[in-house]
Structure 1
Amino acid sequence: MSGPLSLEPGGAEQDTLAIRLAGPRRLRPRRTDDSTLALRLPRLGPDEEEISRLAAELADRIGPAVHPYEVAALLEAEGLSADVIRHRYGHPNLFSLASALYERVPRTFPEPAPASDPWRPDHVRCLLRGVLFALPGLAYLLAGPLWRPGTHVSALVVAGIVSWAWGQALGHRAHLRMTTGRREAGRTLLTGAPVGAVLA
């Protein structure tokens, strides 16, 4: 009996196994050789059903990919080994399966969430901030009847300038303390506000 032909993938006789039966040699060749038995082997290839199932499971993550290498990285993250890729999906390696999935799943590019407008003013906060900065002046208006306009005008002007300057400096200091935490900034305001009131 003669030896079998090579059945390695990629060969010319990949799906055919030829077996030649032993028999007496004939000097004259015959048109039909009845001593040869041909067996048709099942063709090996990708399992389309398993690949379709995998593509459906990972469609939301394969769709935004812009290159098959991204799909390959996703498959590695999913824990697909080389043996699983060969035996279950019928592909020789990871990149072959990634290319098949990349071609099978349509490209989808989700729109990013709309970003908030950083220049949109907060009218309520601006109003509250203005009222806060106007409180020193309101105190002077309430205490006006107790002062003598002729002799204490200069003192009122100096106190107003000092109080507003102190408020601006205290606000700047509180913003700097925000880098270490809101509690530290609040402690700065609680400490500096009474001192500013005493100076005013």
Structure 2
Amino acid sequence: MTAVEPSPSRSMDDLIEPMGTGIFRAVEPLQVAAMLESQGLSDKIARERYGHDDVFSLAEAAYSHIKTMERPSPPAGAPLRRARPLAQMAHGLLYGLPAALLPAASGLVGTQFLMPGLVLTTGLGWVVGSAAAQLAYTLVGRGHPRSAGRVLRTGLVLGVLGAMTMAGALALARNAPVALVALCVTQMAFQIASGLLLFYRREGWLGVIMLPAVVAGLAYVAIGDRWVGLLAVCVGVVCVAGVVGAALLLTLAQGEDAPAEPPLRRLARGHLRGLLPSFVYAALTALFLLQAEARYVLDRTDIAVAGAGLVLGMGILEYRAHRFDDEARAAVRDVCYPADFTRRGRWLLAKGTLACLAALSLLSALPLVFLHVTGTLTDAGLAMAGAHVTVGGAYFVAFLLANQGKVVHLCLAQAAALAVHPAGRLLLPGGGSATADVLLFAAAALLFLLILLALMGHGLRDVRQYC
């Protein structure tokens, strides 16, 4: 699992695209500011979504940006869209590619050591990757792509160092083999570097570079020989190194022809306080999901693998969130009154949520069928699969709220879910059975989803969010 939640900040392209070709006729920043204000964009939205102090500052940055762009000529009346169906829906599968190497890696160091290490490093990568992406989106939105690339590189280095420290401490504490540190570092490098490739919309690169590793991992599963497992892990390490190299090259290539940028320290200083809620939310979401799964990674395979559908479906959640934004912006053009948009928006919200729940249910059926065929399907596994489907629905709504800059609301909603699980586990007699624990997690996930739906339904009254 990794972080795929979108940033509340948006880039200049996201600002300019919905306005069509009219903005390219502006001859000064004041004209751009007038256009933005006519679309309902306020100083508050400029701060929360684009990282600028006010509309005029944002207009100046947008005017400078459009002078470097080729004038588009879309078909008349066709709104430009942010949703990219195939690319975005593939994100979950792309993030899950290293899973093909898990059997080979477990055979080398032992599942009892590898799985706790991966849980710890995944949580750290979730938080570090989210924070770096958040700041990078803000810098790109302000017209500083070179600094954004530097932030992403720094996040990669910090993540790898953090994984090395955590895995090293775990290896010493549990007398695990040194190979555990190497595998955890490799997993962290892939997690953050793959996020960088997706940040720059290079999904194809990621799939092609990791293809040999997937083939090698599947070969080990088919053959089962220890030396084939060692070869598969080595191929995987080389492929991950290729992913890291491609990601670094992309960050270094950004802004080569752009004017000199102010020092990164000065640019980042004004945004660090705004990053805190996003950092807290990423930490809370990682804690909520990973603590529920970590208890079962060693001795309850039926529960541990039941949530695999959520990992595969994260790209679908991302796509549906972008599609909701596209449809909501189109709805603004079709209605006459705010109340009409609110009704249309709630229908779109319901449709998107149900589509996500249906897609995740289908994907979650895959591991359940595997468990049924192997005779290991249990009630607790079914409950865990249902809980992950519910969490996925909540993440879809959370993406929408994050796009509106309501990260503090997300933190409070996630804290409420954590108050049910794991805090509620303390009230279970004797810690409770695995089934009782999983059902409690499912209840917490449902509470999380309902709170977010209520927040989003109320937020649809603010039509300016989609202008």
TM-score (norm 1): 0.28
| Greater length-normalized contact order (CA 8 Å, ≥ 6 residues apart) | 2
TM-score (norm 2): 0.14
Task: Compare the two structures and name the one with the higher helix fraction.
Answer: 2
Task: Compare the two structures and name the one with the higher strand fraction.
Answer: 1
